[in-house]
Structures are given as structure tokens and as C-alpha cells.
Amino acid sequence: MGSAGTGISFLDKSKRVRQRLTLTIAALFTSASLASCSGFFIKPTVSSIFVTPSAVTVGVGQMATLSATATYSDGTQNQISGSSVGWTSSAPNVATVTSPGGAVTGVALGSATMTASSQGISGTATVTVTLSNITSLVITTNEGSTQPITTATINGTTGTQQFFAYANGSSNNDVTQSVTWTSSNTNVATISSGATSGNGLATAVAAGTTNITATTTNTQTGQLVTSQTIVLTVTQ
């Protein structure tokens, strides 16, 4: 009886040892597998960047802040800031931008492209710098002149005419690219407006007349400033 009991006890102990050994091996295998998998984890990379706002107008000496949002390779999006994104200006003599930060400051009249870059990917925004206190506008077909005119002509329905806008009675304040141009009858002639360059170009469509005006906002008072009207005639 004693020897039989001893045999059963020995078998139980052997079984328990095997179970413990199996569990230990399984635990080691699981741990090694997890460690191996972590080595294969791929961090999402930046696939595109968009800047907001995509277009902004500031006065000379005024500031605006841009922000950059990245779209990653896994489809997620996140705003990027600080040292994770760099900012540059295509024309620091027109507008500067802090990097890091994305804070834009108007320096002189004109437009500049601001670029946000991260991981070799970039996005852009257009900054237009205008006068901060425009009280009057004069439009003309004569570059450099602040003498208002009331009529203009395009000879032929395939012709064009460039218009210019000057603020506060000074030819130094050329705001042709930053004002909003309007043609009252686009069936007669259109006029380019809101582009990064080439604004104020009237293009004939058909014979007739249309009124050309320019408007802008005084950024200090919020008042809309409107130029005189030029009657544009398109001949056959």
C-alpha cells in the first residue's frame, strides 16, 4: 500500500512539472512573438499637407496666423505645429512668416506664397499684403497714373485691356492685385480678379458696354471702399 501511494505521488509530481514546463515555454514563446511584432510596427508617414486659411489678406504691419494639417499614410489627419513643421515665405520683402509658429506679417504691397513642410511634404497658402488704411481708390488704364478716367475702349471682340488700381492718391500704392474687380456685364467683357497674379485684365467677349469698378475693405475701419466707374466699350 505504501509503495503504491508513493508511485501515485511521483506520477502527480511529474505531471505537474510537465505542465509548468509547458506553461513556461508558452509564455516565453508569446513574449518573443510580441517582441518580434513590435519590431515590425510601421509609423504612419505624412502623405499631404494643407494650410488654412489657403488665402489671406493682411495690411502692411498687420499679422495673421496660418496652421498646417497633415494627412498620414494610414488616412488619419492631425494638425502639426512646433518643430514638426517648417515655414518659409517666397517673398520675405512682401510678407514674413515665423518658423516655428506660422505667424505672417505684412511688410510691403504684393503677394507671397507661404509653404509649410514636414517629412519632405509641403502645402502652401497665398498671402496678399495691402494697405491697412485705404480711404480712396482710383482705377485707370494708364499705369502709374492716379488721374481718374471714366471711359475705356477695347477694339475688337478678341482684345484685352489691363486696368490698374491705386490707393490714397499715390502711384506708390499699387493695389491692382489685391482689390476686387467687377464687370457689370460679363457678356461684353470679363475682368480677372482673385487670382494670385494677373488681376485687372479685361477680356472682350462681345460688342457692347460694361461698367468696370474695383473695391477693397479698409482693414482698420471695416468700411468698403469703391473706385470710380469706368465705362468700357467693346467694338466689333
Query: In degrees to the nearest 10, what's the CA dihedral of 188, 192, 193, 198?
Result: -160
Q: What is the mean pLDDT of the chain?
A: 87
Q: What is the pLDDT of residue 30?
A: 54
With beta carbons less than 8 A apart as the criterion, state whether 60 and 107 touch.
Answer: yes
- Asked if pLDDT for residue 36 goes beyond 80, the answer is no
With beta carbons less than 8 A apart as the criterion, state whether 72 and 44 touch.
Answer: yes
Q: How confident is the model at residue 38 (pLDDT cuts 50, 70, 90)?
A: very low
pTM of the predicted model as reported, rounded to 2 decimal places: 0.58
Q: How confident is the model at residue 29 (pLDDT cuts 50, 70, 90)?
A: low
Given the DSSP bridges, would you call strands 180-183 and 208-217 parallel, antiparallel or unpaired? Answer: antiparallel
Between 48-52, 57-61, 103-107, the lowest mean confidence (pLDDT) is in 57-61
Q: What string of H, E and C letters represents the secondary structure of the chain?
A: CHHHHHHHHHHHHHHHHHHHHHHHHHHHHHHHHHHHHHHCCCCCCEEEEEEECCEEEEEECCEEECEEEEEECCCCEEEECHHHCEEEECCCCCEEECCCCCEEEECCCEEEEEEEEECCEEEEEEEEEECCCCCCEEEECCCCCCCCCCEEEEECCCCEEECEEEECCCCCCECCCCCEEEECCCCCEEECCCCCCCCCEEEECCCEEEEEEEEEECCCCCCEEECCCEEEEEEC
Q: Say which amino acid occupies 186.
A: T
Provide the grid cell at 150: 471714366
| pLDDT tens-digit series, residues 169-218 | 999 889 898 899 999 999 999 999 987 668 999 999 999 999 999 999 88
Q: How far is CA 150 from the centre of its chain?
A: 37
- Asked if pLDDT for residue 4 goes beyond 90, the answer is no
Compute the average pLDDT of residues 28-42. Answer: 54
Q: What is the pLDDT of residue 1?
A: 47
| pLDDT tens-digit series, residues 89-144 | 999 999 999 999 999 999 888 889 999 999 999 999 999 888 878 999 999 999 99
Residue closest to 68 by CA, chosen among 115, 104, 105: 115
Q: Report which of residues 32 and 197 the model is more confident about.
A: 197
Residue closest to 106 by CA, chosen among 128, 78, 134: 128
Q: How confident is the model at residue 27 (pLDDT cuts 50, 70, 90)?
A: low
Compute the average pLDDT of residues 58-84. Answer: 92
